[in-house]
Amino acid sequence: MADTLDRKTVHELAAGLAEKRWSSVEIVKDCLDAVRTRDKEIHAFLKFDADDALREAALSDERRAAGKALSAYDGIPVGIKDNIAVRDTTVSCASKLLENVVSPYDATAVAKLRARGFIPFGRLNMDEFAMGSSCENSAFGRTMNPRDTSRVPGGSSGGSAAAVAADLVPAALGSDTGGSIRQPAAFCGVVGLKPTYGRVSRFGLVAFASSLDQIGPLAKDVIDAGIILDTVSGKDEKDSTCLPLDPASSSAAAMEGAERRALDGLVFGMPKEYFSGPLAPGVAKIMEQTVAQIRSMGGKIVDVSLPHTKYAVAVYYIIATAEASANLARFDAVRYGRRIDGADLVDTYFKSRGAGFGQEVIRRILLGTYVLSSGYYDAYYLKAQKVRTLIRRDFAEAYKQCDLLLTPVTPAPAFKFGEKSDPLQMYLSDIFTIALNLSGQCGISVPAGTDEATGMPVGVQFLAPELEENRLLRAAAAFEAVRG
Show which residues are catalytic. Answer: 81, 156, 180
Task: Decide the pairing of beta strands 442-450 and 457-464.
Answer: antiparallel
Q: What is the residue type of 215?
A: I
3-state DSSP of the chain: CCCCCCCCCHHHHHHHHHCCCCCHHHHHHHHHHHHHHHHHHHCCEEECCHHHHHHHHHHHHHHHHCCCCCCCCCCCEEEEECCECCCCCECCCCCHHHCCCECCCCCHHHHHHHHCCCEEEEEECCCHHHCCCCCCCCCCCCCCECCECCECCCCCCHHHHHHHHCCCCCEEEEECCCCCCHHHHHHHCCEEEECCCCCECCCCECCCCCCCCCEEEEECCHHHHHHHHHHHECCCCCCCCCCCCCCCCHHHHHHHHHHHCCCCCCEEEEEHHHCCCCCCHHHHHHHHHHHHHHHHCCCEEEEECCHHHHHHHHHHHHHHHHHHHHHHHHCCCCCCCCCCCCCCHHHHHHHHHHHHCCHHHHHHHHHHHHHHCCCCHHHHHHHHHHHHHHHHHHHHHHCCCCCEEEEECCCCCCCECCCCCCHHHHHHCCCCCHHHHHHCCEEEEEEEEECCCCCCEEEEEEEECCCCHHHHHHHHHHHHHHHC
In sequence order, which residues have a C-beta less than 8 Å from that of residue 183 and are 6 or more positions away? 133, 154, 155, 192, 409, 410, 429, 430, 433, 445
Chain-centre distance of CA 285, in angstroms? Answer: 25
- 114 vs 124: CA distance, rounded Å: 18
Q: Are 138 and 94 in contact (CB under 8 A)?
A: yes
The residue count of the chain comes to: 484
- 140 vs 160: CA distance, rounded Å: 15
Strand partners, 442: 464
